[in-house]
Amino acid sequence: MMSFRSVVALTAVGFALWAVASPAHATFHFMQIEQVVGGVGGNTAAQAIQLRMRSGSQNFVSQSRIRAFDATGANPVIIINIASDVPNGLLGDRVLITTAAFNSLTSPTCVPNFTMTNPIPASYLAAGSLTFEDDSGIIYWRLSWGGAAYTGSNTGSPTNDANGNFGPPFGSALPTAGASSLRFNGTASALSTTNLADYSITAGAAVMTNNARNSFTITLGACCPAAGGCTEFQSAAVCMASGGVYQGNGTSCASAPCAPTTGACCLPNGSCLADQTAGTCGAAGGAFEGAGTNCGTANCPVTTGACCAANGSCAELVESECDSSGGHFEGLGSVCTPNPCPVVPVGACCTGDGHCHVDPADDCALHGGFYFGDGTNCTTSTCVCFRGDANCDGVLNNFDIDPFVAALLDSGSPTPPEAYEQLVANAGACWEQRGCWADLNCDGSFNNFDIDPFVNCRINAPPPGAPCECAG
């Protein structure tokens, strides 16, 4: 028969062996993935995962982790490897894990228990899987989503699901566009049946709770952008950062409509553009009639008319613009279709500096140029002369005197006179330009009245490289 001391010793050994051999279910194994937020207001960097204890004393979570898998159940990503325990461990207590981007989108500002090392990858949000498991990889809860698009494993330990099969998956993607979460519908102590039956997307804004039992509601509302219109499911911070006006938490575009920022825009021709902002109206050259105005009631005066340029082209301008451009204003409301402007023939005009311009004949003469004729252009009519350069060698000097005299003696000849040909190497091309280099008084003709200006140019030579000045 054993002594009392022996019984006590054996009992102590037994308890020690029980403590070693007993499953660690009094640590963290009885746990649900209660809520998941894949994004807030379209911002998929703002994510949250909420765990809930199915039993007491499940707060020793330092040997657990959460992993995400893609639509095929492959390519696992460690969302967080939980490194410490949480203080509260009653039935129904939570553990809240978020991204930093999530915390400012709740009221009050969210205080999570842990911050995700990695968010759920954006490509996993349409179809994928989350597992709550121990560090060795034993899965104690699995949440899969995406319906038929998810083809990976649905299995896990039977600790929290009687047959260890958490499937079929929830039928659609994780919520990302609004303020909702994917939430477990069962009680705190409930086992999993199937993800499809157990989960639903919250109808309103999700409320997340941390281990200290503090709750945080996702706060989104309507935003009135500076450019006009209305955008729903915006956070106050995002709305105001873009210059918008936040309408308040929980508001919609229907419940809190934005004041109009667009209105009628009167264009100078009297037409009207609807739904313009002050900025877009100004960019179109119009006058903004004010927010909320419309073209049905706007009285848009005509301030433009057809403006005829000297070359016969037409542009619809205000009268002051037409006058400053040297055109002729045809009157308020006149238009360019059909063109009311008289057609003035134009052609290539060579000026004394050797440059070519396309001008009417009168304008060419006014500037002392040589007019090649109606319809000519500067592509085929090249200016190769300086005024006074009678031999077209590009230099004004005494070698121009004899060619000038030879040309003057027979200036009306369509071809170079023989005497001129003997003096000038490129006589044919140079002769075609005589109206430019020989017309020293710029009256549009080559005649005896050009003699004195030519002589004066030789006596008072211009700077090297410059032509004779027009003496007209």
Half-sphere exposure of 302 (CA within 13 A, CB side): 10
Specify the 3-state DSSP secondary structure of 129. Answer: strand
How many angstroms separate the CA atoms of 179 and 102, rounded?
A: 11
User: What string of pLDDT tens digits covers the 472 residues of the chain?
Assistant: 445 444 334 444 343 333 333 344 448 999 999 999 999 988 899 999 999 999 999 999 999 999 999 999 999 999 999 999 999 999 999 999 999 999 988 989 999 999 999 999 999 999 999 999 999 999 999 999 999 999 999 999 999 999 999 999 999 999 998 889 999 999 999 999 999 999 999 998 899 999 999 999 998 888 998 877 898 888 887 788 888 899 888 788 888 888 888 899 998 888 899 988 888 999 998 999 988 899 988 888 878 899 988 778 899 888 888 888 877 888 888 889 999 988 778 777 776 556 777 777 887 777 766 677 777 777 765 665 678 999 988 788 999 999 999 999 998 888 999 999 999 988 887 887 887 788 888 887 889 999 999 999 999 988 887 888 887 6
Domain boundaries, the chain: 31-218, 302-344, 347-459
Q: What pLDDT does 402 receive?
A: 95
Tokens for 310?
């000297």
Q: Could you give the C-alpha distances from 169 to 73, 199, 373, 455, 468, in angstroms and in order?
A: 12, 9, 85, 104, 93
Q: What pLDDT does 21 receive?
A: 36
451-459 and 401-409 are packed helices; what angle lies between their axes, rounded to 10 degrees? Answer: 180
